[in-house]
Amino acid sequence: MKRLGYHGLWEIKDCPAELLKFENSISTFMDAVAEGVNLTVLSKSFKQFEPYGVTGVFLLSESHLSIHTWPEHGYAALDLFSCKNFDASVIKDIIHEHLHTQNITFTPIERGILNKLEIQ
């Protein structure tokens, strides 16, 4: 069966709060993810919350990459939806490198599964 997209959800826990507080470190992390799995970034948007925490979205040719952080809980939620395959293990390595945690849960979701009769 063919699928139209692949959606990955990462629950990222036990991160040092300092790495999740501000836009500059989250932007650098998101850039690394996009580059690491060869995504085409069309635009970026971030919101810095007070006193800390960040939400960020990358609009991609392939779909979207987003994150929301809760520094006070050492937690971030990362979401990537793409119409092309990506290597989730590469993203896991980037999370380790940039957010300094081993506590990561990954949930893959196949989107738009088509059977042979529906493919035009």
User: Counting beta carbons within 10 angstroms of the beta carbon of residue 113, is it exposed (0 to 12), middle (13 to 18) or buried (19 or more)?
Assistant: exposed
Domain 2-112 fold:
S-adenosylmethionine decarboxylase (3.60.90)
Asked if 43 is an active-site residue, the reply is no
Q: What φ, ψ does residue 15 adopt, rounded to 5°?
A: -90, 145
Candidates 81, 87, 117, 115; CA nearest to 3 is 115
Q: What is the pLDDT of residue 117?
A: 54
Q: What is the pLDDT of residue 113?
A: 84
Q: Helix or strand or coil: residue 100?
A: coil
Domain assignments of the chain as residue spans, ordered by start: 2-112
- Output the pTM of the full model: 0.91
Q: What is the pLDDT of residue 48?
A: 97
Rg of the chain on CA atoms, in Å: 15
Asked if 63 is an active-site residue, the reply is yes
- Among candidate residues 25, 64, 83, 100, the one labeled active-site is 83
Asked if 96 is an active-site residue, the reply is no
Tens digit of each residue's pLDDT, the chain (120 residues): 688 999 999 999 999 999 999 999 999 999 999 999 999 999 999 999 999 999 999 999 999 999 999 999 999 999 999 999 999 999 999 999 999 999 999 999 999 988 755 555
- Among candidate residues 68, 82, 98, 100, the one labeled active-site is 68
Q: What is the pLDDT of residue 5?
A: 92
- Among candidate residues 63, 89, 98, 100, the one labeled active-site is 63
Q: What angle do CA 36, 39, 45 make, to 5 degrees?
A: 105
